[in-house]
Amino acid sequence: MAKAEMGHDHAHSYEAPTKLTRNQSMVFSALREQEKPLTAYAILDRLRGDGLRAPLQIYRALDKLMEKGLVHRLESLNAFVACQHEACSGHSTVAFAICENCGLVDEIEDEAVNREIERVSRERGFLPTRATVELKGLCAECR
Amino acid sequence: MAKAEMGHDHAHSYEAPTKLTRNQSMVFSALREQEKPLTAYAILDRLRGDGLRAPLQIYRALDKLMEKGLVHRLESLNAFVACQHEACSGHSTVAFAICENCGLVDEIEDEAVNREIERVSRERGFLPTRATVELKGLCAECR
DNA sequence: TCGCATATGTTATACTGTAACGCAACCGTT
DNA sequence: AACGGTTGCGTTACAGTATAACATATGCGA
């Protein structure tokens, strides 16, 4: 994955792997250290010692990290989690299985689920650009 | 008191239609008059003329309406929409196709999508209690 | 270098949702 | 009808989530 750190030649076919800024890498680290999803304000609390003070600093970093596919937002929790794959470039839909007991999140990429979502959209003439699939329940450890 | 969580097959009949309270029916009417989802505060604004003043009045009514299956919450919008079926109180998962152009929402109940979600959960030992499936894109009219 | 796009810092504010309290209406039992 | 439990209602205050607006700084390409 070490790629084009010194962007000299722009082959525009893949997404450009840009280096993270200081705030972005602090926010990303905070999320990676935690297995569980964190709200923006929880991230802020962890980073106050590192000089971050305002929610906007967190939200801006999160926006960029999501663009890069390094972080996902869990709509049903208003929280954010580090991608468990190698940077989901965002093309394929991912589902999240969220344990209501321990809080762990499993990131699921499943071909058949995506295919059925595509089919049901097509059947209705709906042209999807983004899908949110979040399951709440009990994980294998907690059930 | 305990209702069956799954496999409750009232295909067409509506079940135990408890009467709505005054606030509940005002909130429900506000949602039905609108094709599009409304936030709690948008509902409140529409009902100020009818004597409602506080967000909590809206949220309490919404909670009950969701319990009854008359209203759904759209997590990705922080908004609420009237059920398009006859009270989805059967706990089958519904998906929502949300048009990013016109704001219309199509409520989709699809067997195959649900089956694949069940399967992928089972494969990972995850025991789901609730699923959120929300698609963003362009509806048939707007594409 | 200049110029532009992006990143940052800060303050203030908007939007979304609950806690806690007391009172009122309803309902099933005496 | 009186009691007592449950649910609903109204209000104030507040917690939690997210963005607007503005100013400054930093990096990078022409």
pLDDT tens by residue, A74-102: 999 999 999 998 877 656 789 999 999 99
Give the pLDDT of residue A13. Answer: 35
Domains of chain B: 22-137 (1.10.10.10)
A56 touches strand C (CB under 7 A): yes
Residue A28 pLDDT greater than 60, yes or no: yes
The tokens for B44 are: 């409140």
- The strand C neighbours among B residues 2-31, by Cβ under 7 Å, are none
Nearest to B113 among A120, A128, A132 (CB): A120
B6 CB-contact burial (10 Å; exposed 0-12 / middle 13-18 / buried 19+)? exposed
Instruction: Note whether B120 contacts A: Cβ–Cβ < 8 A.
Output: yes
CA distance A4 to A10: 9
The Cα A53–Cα A74 span in angstroms is 23
Q: Are A72 and A38 in contact (CB under 8 A)?
A: no
CA-derived radius of gyration, chain A: 17
Please give the pLDDT value at position A7. 30
Stretch B28-43: mean pLDDT: 97
pLDDT in tens, B97-135: 999 999 999 999 999 999 999 999 999 999 999 999 999
Residue B37 pLDDT exceeds 60: yes
Helix/strand/coil for A108: strand
Contact positions of strand D to protein Cβ (< 7 A): 8-13, 16-21, 29
A132 to chain B nearest CA, in Å?
A: 5
In angstroms, how far is CA A128 from the centroid of its own chain? 19
What pLDDT was estimated at residue A1? Answer: 31
